Amino acid sequence: MGELAASLAHEVNNPIGAMVTNANAGQRLIAAGRIDNEELKDLLGDIVADGHRAREVIQGIRNMMRKSEGSRSLVQITEVIRDLLRIVRADAFERKVAISAEIDSTTGCVMANRVQLLQVLLNLTMNGFEAMSVIRPEARRLVICANRNGDGEILVSVRDTGPGFPAGMVDQFFEPFFSTKAEGTGMGLAIARSLIEAHGGSLSGENCDDGGACFTVRLPEAKEDKSGAP
């Protein structure tokens, strides 16, 4: 029950945090008299989308309690990363992080629960943002890469330019309730790894030779059905 409560608090906090960030941005722009209807429409659209995402997260946890795999379908990795960039856009601006994506044109599909996959990548991205808070703003960069390897897998990596983590500690990051953050639940990476493993993949982390940390999701590639059969 403790792990479930921590899981629910952690996973729902992400979309709620994004909603608050976008709402605050809208308030500041209105107060400054610098917002137009199109910009307001985009902010409200993001808030609505994150509200739906919070509801889907709760439904996903209900499914996990019922030992259900949830709804899985063919998911285009490029589309998930596009949604991720939209969700974190305001947060990256607030934290003064330059974020970019490097996606191989041959990157295909995986069979996955789209919301769960998005939650994993969002967790890795927000962890990267927080890790870079201790370095000067002009050095804060986060890169999301997606490509295929020769073993029938699709790889998605999230790399930051933060201080990295102490040698030998990477495995502990995936343990439930282990956290280096003062107010962390210690559930984010534990949940992320369990979700990816439930999809038949793996999640690993390492320090980069030139600084920063990189977390990599590996998932079995799924073939698109182009036959038109129902």
* Separation of CA 213 from chain center: 15
Question: Would you say residue 130 has pLDDT above 60?
Answer: yes
pLDDT band at 168 (very low <50, low <70, confident <90, very high): low
pLDDT band at 21 (very low <50, low <70, confident <90, very high): confident
How far is 170 from 18, CA to CA, in rounded Å? 27
**Position 130: which residue type?**
E
Selection from 212, 210, 104, 92 nearest residue 158 by Cα: 212
Which region, left, alpha or beta, applies to residue 157 given φ > 0 means left and ψ of -120 to 50 means alpha? beta
Alpha-carbon distances, residue 203 vs 44, 65, 119, 154, 228 (angstroms): 33, 22, 13, 12, 33
CATH homologous superfamily of 2-222 equals: Histidine kinase-like ATPase, C-terminal domain (3.30.565.10)
The pLDDT of residue 184: 44
Task: Give residue for tokens 């934290």.
Answer: 95
Q: Which residue has the higher pLDDT, 170 or 90?
A: 90
> Hey, where are the domains in the chain?
2-222
DSSP symbols for 216-227: EEEEEEE----S
pLDDT in tens, 88-116: 888 888 899 999 999 998 888 999 988 88
The pLDDT of residue 208: 87
**Position 222: which residue type?**
A
Do residues 122 and 88 make contact, with C-beta atoms less than 8 angstroms apart?
yes
Do residues 144 and 99 make contact, with C-beta atoms less than 8 angstroms apart?
yes
